[in-house]
Amino acid sequence: MSADAMRIAVFAGDGIGPEVTAEAVRVLQALDLPGLELVEGDVGGAAYRKHGHPLPPETLEIARSCGAILFGAVGDFSLDHLERRLRPEQAVLGLRKELGLFANLRPATVFKGLEDLTTLRPEVAAKIDLLIVRELNGDVYFGEKGTRTLDDGRRQGWDMMSYAEDEVRRIAHTGFKAAMGRSKKLCSVDKANVLETSQLWRDVVIEVAREYPEVELSHMYVDNAAMQLVKNPGQFDVIVTGNLFGDILSDQASMCVGSIGLLASASLAEGTYGLYEPIHGSAPDIAGQGLANPMATILSAAMLLRHSFGLEDQAARIEAAVGKALAQGVRGGDLGGTDGTRAIGDAVLAAL
Ligand code: IPM
Ligand code: MG
């Protein structure tokens, strides 16, 4: 890649992925970024149908030749009967592992004027401004797993949960650094009262904390964290947690905000490389109808410009445009409105 090239992989995937990604691409193209090159690749069920694999080698090659990935969504119920390694979800799990995308940043913030969308009391939700830093390369997700038949004939499914100290250390650093850039509060979420994996997690986080004396570190068990997220979400700033707990808590946090169609995320490797995707899934029920809200994907493109290419101004410009469209009353179906995918894209482009 030459110094001025800005090569971005665009993996639209399944369901509403292609529709929402198309709008984010229009926004990127409207910015007149020097050297911008967009390279499309197949992932998920779409890739399985075409190449017999959810993450074919040619897709990985495209990913490796780019500086970042803009990702739509994967998931297709009609392929759930396939053996696990061929299911659409393996595309995102494979990319995370193959590209070392170990740090998942999932911000959840209530947009001004949208406080009523939450299922919490609006005055409780209005205080939400948090960031979940989720580890993505380890935990029970990537441990050995299988099914076996016990001596007495019962079938048993098993998945091995583990974290090595270096894996905890690097995500802890991501959490502390994120906290330094925000209000210097970090809450580490684990289940150290029951799990050895979590006890080691907690011990290592405490060790890393010595390097960040300015950050106020707290620990919370995951069950309590789930409760506190709906009771008083305003108490959290940065949460750092493992793969499984982060998966669950980040969905919960998004729903506390009430606007899953607005939340973007980044999955980062060491350095500047990253994959950026909306936190919503492939939504097969509304796919292909032009109903999906592309704002979360457009905001993911903003995160991409900021983290992978250092283009803070352009990122802020996109975010401001989305904010302006919302302030003008543009609303997708997820926000109780009737604006379609294209119309929302048009509104953001007009606001740019
Ligand atoms: C997510 C998703 C994935 C995960 C699935 C699609 C494998 O739920 O990104 O949160 O569990 O990590
Ligand atoms: Mg999830």
251 is catalytic: yes
3: pLDDT strictly greater than 60: no
**Average pLDDT of the residues in 137-147:** 96
* Nearest alpha-carbon partner for 241 in 192, 182, 171: 171
> Whose alpha carbon is nearest atom 11 of ligand 1?
247
Query: How far from 277 is each of 10, 69, 80, CA to CA, in Å?
Result: 10, 8, 22
The residue assigned the tokens 């080698």 is: 57
What integer pLDDT is reported at residue 85 of this predicted model? 93
Ligand nearest the Cα of residue 243 is 1
174: pLDDT strictly greater than 60: yes
> Whose alpha carbon is nearest atom 1 of ligand 1?
247
Give 129 Cα–ligand 2 centroid separation in angstroms.
Answer: 19
260: pLDDT strictly greater than 90: no
Whole-number Å distance between alpha carbons of 254 and 264: 10
The verdict on whether residue 116 carries a ligand-binding annotation is: no
**Average pLDDT of the residues in 224-238:** 97
CA-derived radius of gyration, the chain: 20
Whole-number Å distance between alpha carbons of 294 and 301: 11
> Whose alpha carbon is nearest atom 10 of ligand 1?
247
What integer pLDDT is reported at residue 4 of this predicted model? 60
Give 251 Cα–ligand 2 centroid separation in angstroms.
Answer: 6
**Average pLDDT of the residues in 235-252:** 97
Active-site residue (options: 159, 166, 223, 313) = 223
5: pLDDT strictly greater than 60: yes
Ligand 1 and 92: CB distance under 6 A: yes
Active-site residue (options: 48, 76, 190, 191) = 191
pLDDT digits (tens, 9 = 90+) for 287-307: 999 999 999 999 999 999 999
Report which ligand 1 atom has the smallest distance to the Cα of 136.
12
Report which ligand 1 atom has the smallest distance to the Cα of 104.
9
57: pLDDT strictly greater than 80: yes
What integer pLDDT is reported at residue 117 of this predicted model? 85
Phi, psi of 27 (to 5 degrees): -65, -45
Whole-number Å distance between alpha carbons of 109 and 234: 10
Domains, the chain, ordered by start = 1-101+269-352 (3.40.718.10), 103-262 (3.40.718.10)
Ligand 1 and 277: CB distance under 6 A: no
Give 247 Cα–ligand 1 centroid separation in angstroms.
Answer: 6
220: pLDDT strictly greater than 60: yes
What integer pLDDT is reported at residue 10 of this predicted model? 98
Ligand 1 and 247: CB distance under 6 A: yes
238: pLDDT strictly greater than 80: yes
1: pLDDT strictly greater than 90: no
> Whose alpha carbon is nearest atom 12 of ligand 1?
247
**Average pLDDT of the residues in 117-138:** 93
273 is catalytic: no
For residue 38, what are its two tokens?
């967009």
Q: What is the mean pLDDT of the chain?
A: 95
pLDDT digits (tens, 9 = 90+) for 20-54: 999 999 999 999 999 999 999 999 999 999 999 99
Ligand 1 and 89: CB distance under 6 A: yes
> Whose alpha carbon is nearest atom 2 of ligand 1?
247
